[in-house]
Amino acid sequence: MKPKIVYKNQPESFKFSEKNLEIAENILKKYPKERKKSAVMPLLYLAQRQNENWIPLAAMKYIAKYLSIPYISVYEVATFYSMYNLSPVGKYFVQVCTTSPCLLRGANQIVEICKSNISPNQNEVSKNKLCSWTEVECLGACVNAPMMQINDSYYEDLDEENTNKIIKSLLEDKPLKSGSYRNRKNTAPENSNNLISALNFARSEAIKRSVQVTIRRKGTAAQEWDGGWDIFSDLDGLGTFTDDGDANLCEVGEDCLLRTFPAIPKGYTLRTGANYATWLSYLPNGSSKSPSLANDTFRLCSPAADTSKSRSIIISTSGRPRTQTGTVSCP
């Protein structure tokens, strides 16, 4: 990986906005006082979002002072992890996965489209200053290859035609919708693997973002998850998605919809116990949470209600899911 280049034209000062300062204070509450330096990563991420997708040196100094730690301790984190940008990347930052699964399914075409439309070189802002691109390692959506991440959103099941449309929409400041571009029902493997993929995704996002991430079933029937589910950052920890209702999504201080899963195929049933009747969450330490207890079991059945083909998806209090075959009764 090429060393990061620190932008020459640095702003003289940085401080969290009033809204972000409140979020920063809530982040600090999650750590013991003697361990507050561990909050450096979510605070850097917060600063990056506030400063149009990149972190100036002034922000690092501000965070160091805020956490009462040496400046170098913040600098070494910001320069080590690839998710932090030390130079302007534009309003839309395109990260193209070029690991083996995506590469085998045409990631090279996506790279060439970025070179032709955005800039010939990685991490070089487009002429209109709206966009830049880079190659990255696995983004955890191999089943939807090839794919790319634009800011916080995944664009999956891409081909040359729709990638061209997506990139051009960014350059016109009219971004197209995220998600699968193959018009399939799910953006992950079918049925039990689909749910396990969602659970693992939610857990990893909670750890990465240092915030509670919730999976909430669609529909109104308690303990019935057949209609699909949404995954979102849950700032107040109450298991309900809330934002201010305007056109700007994922604003600082409001819940952010990370991924949505539609109904499972007709005839299949997905049920759970009372603990996960409506929602379950993952905490920043990776453990699971629900309105009552932290652990429960999902029960997936085939259209024929064949118990031998049924699946139990069991979630422990540590948050890790596992699957058992033929161990549940079907409705």
CB 187 within 8 A of CB 261: yes
Give the integer Cα–Cα distance in Å for 28 and 37.
Answer: 9
Cα(296)–Cα(266) distance, rounded to whole angstroms? 24
Q: Which amino acid is at 126?
A: S
**Region of poorest pLDDT, from 89-98, 146-155, 235-244, 307-316:** 307-316
- Percentage of residues in the chain with pLDDT exceeding 70? 91
Residue 305 has pLDDT above 90, yes or no: no
Q: Is the pLDDT of residue 53 over 80?
A: yes
Does residue 327 carry a pLDDT above 80?
Answer: no
Exposure pattern of 190-209 as b/e (b: 16+ CB <10 Å)? Answer: ebbebbbbbbbbbbebbbeb
Mean pLDDT of 192-218: 87
Supply the pLDDT for residue 188: 40
**Residues 253, 21: Cα–Cα separation, whole Å:** 10
Q: Read off the pLDDT band of 179 (50, 70, 90).
A: confident
Domains assigned to the chain: 18-80 (1.10.10), 92-180 (3.40.30.10), 191-325 (3.55.40.10)
CA dist 191 → 198, 261, 271, 310, 323 (Å): 11, 11, 12, 11, 12
> pLDDT grade, residue 189 (50/70/90)?
very low
The secondary structure of 70-127 as a DSSP string is: -HHHHHHHHHH-TTS-SS---SEEEEEE-SHHHHHTTHHHHHHHHHHHT-SSTT---T
Q: What is the distance between the alpha carbons of residues 45 and 92, in angstroms, rounded to a whole number?
A: 16
pLDDT tier, 306 (very low <50, low <70, confident <90, very high otherwise): low
Residue 187: what pLDDT?
Answer: 46
The CA radius of gyration of the chain, in Å to the nearest whole number, is 21
Decide which of 187 and 175 is more confident.
175
What 8-state DSSP symbol labels residue 224?
B
pLDDT tens-digit map of 255-302: 999 998 888 877 788 888 888 889 999 999 888 888 766 678 888 887
CA distance 41 to 27: 11
State the Cα–Cα distance between residues 269 and 108, nearest whole angstrom.
Answer: 39
Average pLDDT over residues 64-72: 95
Range of weakest confidence among 12-26, 73-87, 309-323: 309-323
- Across residues 176-194, what is the average pLDDT? 66
Residue 125 has pLDDT above 70, yes or no: yes
The CA distances from residue 32 to 27, 35, 114, 285, in Å, are: 11, 5, 44, 13
d(CA 173, CA 150): 13
Output the average pLDDT for the chain.
Answer: 86
Whether residue 290 contacts residue 296, with contact meaning beta carbons closer than 8 Å, is answered with: yes
What's residue 307's pLDDT?
63
pLDDT at 113: 96
- Geometric angle at alpha carbon 67, from 286 and 43, rounded to 5°: 50
Confidence band (pLDDT; 50, 70, 90) for 193? Answer: low
